[in-house]
Structure 1
Amino acid sequence: MKRLNLAIASIALLAAPAAAQVIVNVKYRPPETVQRVGIPVDPTEKRIRLLIISGQNSYEHDWTGVNNMLRTMMQDSGRFDVRVTEDFDHGDLATLKNYDVVLLNYSSRWNYADPTEHRWSKTAEQALFDYVRQGGGLVAYHSSFTFGANWPEYQRLIGAVMEPGSSRRSPPGAFPVHIVDRTHPITAGMREYVWTYNDDMYTNMRMDPDARIRVLATAHDSAASYDAKLAGHKYPAAAYTPEKLKAMKGMDADHPQVWTADYGKGRVFSMTLGHDEVSLHFAGLQTLILRGSEWAATGKVTLPVLDEAKEYMQQ
């Protein structure tokens, strides 16, 4: 009897017209290449629209790979729909207003020592300032702090820049990041310390006096880390003798690495960390960039702290 019922059901299916096919809606993602790339988001989803502005960076930064990783990570969170432009030279306000938040992964030189910066057009620069001033969100990311020392309005926008001759990159490539403010929505629920690897510790930056900065995380620049046995060949020992180290401003001190600021009606999230795809594999930085971007766009944070970055529970 069971076999007979199956046969009857099969005949019924075969006899059904083609138009009677059942359309099943399932969660589906288009296939991905071996190297993961950000894929299109269903336009019916209400996501934060984020634009990464990139295209010029110093040679030691894999900015295309980082852009790809940021885009994939953000879209995987289910909160963002991300686009990337590597040509903002002639950007305008109308283009930026299509987005809830802009992320700058941009430096202006191929080599940090190059005297000439590749800046955007005056129209594009003004568009960025007007966009944030009128309420757009901004994320300033890593190498975006390595230019603008002679551009006061840009310093005011992102809160601080590296100043040639005074600022420096501390030698350690791996160091703890101290979350000094865990009451802000971005950092609430995070561990007091997270680690970053293959990264840059920017120290002794020029903080803009007019920017209302709220520091969320710092790192400690220690004279001991300049010892040649730790610093390696990249940092000549003769440049960091005990006498010279003692004379350096900001030595053996904590330095801001992550902060928030405002610019007009806009919210700014600044994160100096995140040198490359290696550092972005760690939960502390992933948590900061995801939640910081959401906050810059909306003023709120709904994304969770990733497990390895969560605050330890007291026993």
Structure 2
Amino acid sequence: MKRRHISRFLRQLVFFLGLLPVSVLIQNPLFSQEITSGKADLSAINVLLIDGQGTHNWRESTPVLERDLEETGLFDVTVLTTPPEWEELTDFLPNFSDFDVVVLNYCGAEWPPQAQKAFLEFIAGGGGLVLVHSANLAFPDWAEFQKLLCVSGWNGRDDSYGPYRYWDPEQGGVHLAKGGPTGTQSGQHEYVIHSTAPNHPIMRGISPKMLHSPDELYANLRGIPQNAPNVTILATAFSDPEHKGSGRHEIQLATVTYGKGRVFQILYGNAGKQCRSVAFIVPFIRGTQWAATGNVTIPIPEDIPTEDKSYVRP
């Protein structure tokens, strides 16, 4: 059994009352995953950040994602870490209804049916979902999950999944039915994030072109055709053949509607340093607020990148 940690608010309360030592640990017999709660603020947007499995270094990126959100003062983040790959997920069933938005930093084993059902009901009922980097590649065999995605790749997906979906500066969103890989990535390099929906609440006021710090760039991604009407492409990046790219403008930020719910995809942000790039932070925090509420009030910071200069916060 793993530990469930008391939130900072409860630690302060317990210490003040003198009832229990500050370091007390509560064991939850119903769950084997680890839950770490952030500050308790009833006025905040409640975020459930799920990690625990995947090929990327979620141990490094999760604390940075949590920091990005909590620096705004608007979010109360609870981190839920699933059991590792070699343990069963049979009892995995978060109480999604306690939260406004789920941030997925997870690309591992498929969840049990009861968790899948609760998750989809949460989104369809108006909950928010944010998918960070490799989380956009999760759950290839979960058919209904694919309807939450603008694009995806790898993990057994092939041209039967759907056409390539990318952006053409003259035509807009393009679907290309063609054989080939479903998911490729470049090496680490700087690239420009091009806004394609400047009037969307997430993108309004953001520089039309932002230079992102060195990061992987996903390319050759596909989307399921039936989901196209629910998709808005927010931003793209040119996948440069000099960096093993596709030669196309690949989707990097997108939204999807599912029932009453809002989904925000951010395809970049490989690890901790990349998640402190301002070209990542600003869309991520604004996209999370939008997914949770449908509105965006977070202002554009002074250190917003330009086309020629990226910024990475300490």
Bigger helix fraction: 1
Q: 1:311 to 1:188 in 2, by over 3 A?
A: farther
Which of the numbers 227, 241, 245 marks the counterpart of 1:223? 241
For residue 99 of structure 1, what is the aligned residue in structure 2?
99
Tell me, yes or no, if structure 1 residue 166 matches structure 2 residue 197. Answer: no
- CA–CA distance in structure 2, aligned partners of residues 194 and 274 of structure 1: 14
| Contact 2:102–2:128, Cα closer than 8 Å, also in 1 | yes
For residue 111 of structure 1, what is the aligned residue in structure 2?
none
- CA–CA distance in structure 2, aligned partners of residues 131 and 155 of structure 1: 16
| Contact 2:191–2:214, Cα closer than 8 Å, also in 1 | no
Give the TM-score of the pair, scaled to structure 2.
0.71
| Contact 2:210–2:305, Cα closer than 8 Å, also in 1 | no
1:232-251 to 2 correspondences below 5 Å:
251=246
Tell me, yes or no, if structure 1 residue 187 matches structure 2 residue 203. Answer: yes
For residue 3 of structure 1, what is the aligned residue in structure 2?
none
**Paired residue secondary structure (1:197):** strand
| Contact 1:197–1:279, Cα closer than 8 Å, also in 2 | yes
Q: CA deviation at 1:39?
A: 8.0
Q: CA deviation at 1:287?
A: 0.4
Residue ranges of structure 1 left out of the alignment (5+ in a row): 1-37, 109-117, 227-249
For residue 41 of structure 1, what is the aligned residue in structure 2?
39
- CA–CA distance in structure 1, aligned partners of residues 71 and 141 of structure 2: 38
For residue 241 of structure 1, what is the aligned residue in structure 2?
none
Q: CA deviation at 1:172?
A: 4.3
- CA–CA distance in structure 2, aligned partners of residues 155 and 42 of structure 1: 33
Which of the numbers 252, 268, 277 marks the counterpart of 1:273? 268
Residue type of the alignment partner of 2:138? F
After the TM superposition, which segments of 4 or more aligned residues of structure 1 sit over 4 Å from their partners?
none
Q: CA deviation at 1:196?
A: 2.2
For residue 290 of structure 2, what is the aligned residue in structure 1?
295
| Contact 2:136–2:265, Cα closer than 8 Å, also in 1 | no
Residue type of the alignment partner of 1:223? P
- Deviations along 1:262-312, whole A, 9 cap, x unmatched? 011101111111111111222121101100000000000011112222789
- Deviations along 1:95-119, whole A, 9 cap, x unmatched? 10000000110111xxxxxxxxx21
1:44-83 to 2 correspondences below 5 Å:
45-58=42-55, 61-83=56-78
For residue 19 of structure 1, what is the aligned residue in structure 2?
none
**Paired residue secondary structure (1:73):** helix
Tell me, yes or no, if structure 1 residue 138 matches structure 2 residue 129. Answer: yes
RMSD of the alignment, in Å? 2.1
* Identical pairs, percent: 29
Give the TM-score of the pair, scaled to structure 1.
0.71
1:12-27 to 2 correspondences below 5 Å:
none
Tell me, yes or no, if structure 1 residue 205 matches structure 2 residue 206. Answer: no
For residue 85 of structure 1, what is the aligned residue in structure 2?
80
Q: CA deviation at 1:219?
A: 1.0
| Contact 2:128–2:292, Cα closer than 8 Å, also in 1 | yes
Is the radius of gyration larger for structure 1 or structure 2?
A: 1
- Deviations along 1:51-104, whole A, 9 cap, x unmatched? 00111011xx221221111112211211000001112833436x1000000011
Q: How many residues align?
A: 239
- CA–CA distance in structure 1, aligned partners of residues 214 and 145 of structure 2: 27
| Contact 1:189–1:310, Cα closer than 8 Å, also in 2 | no
Bigger strand fraction: 2
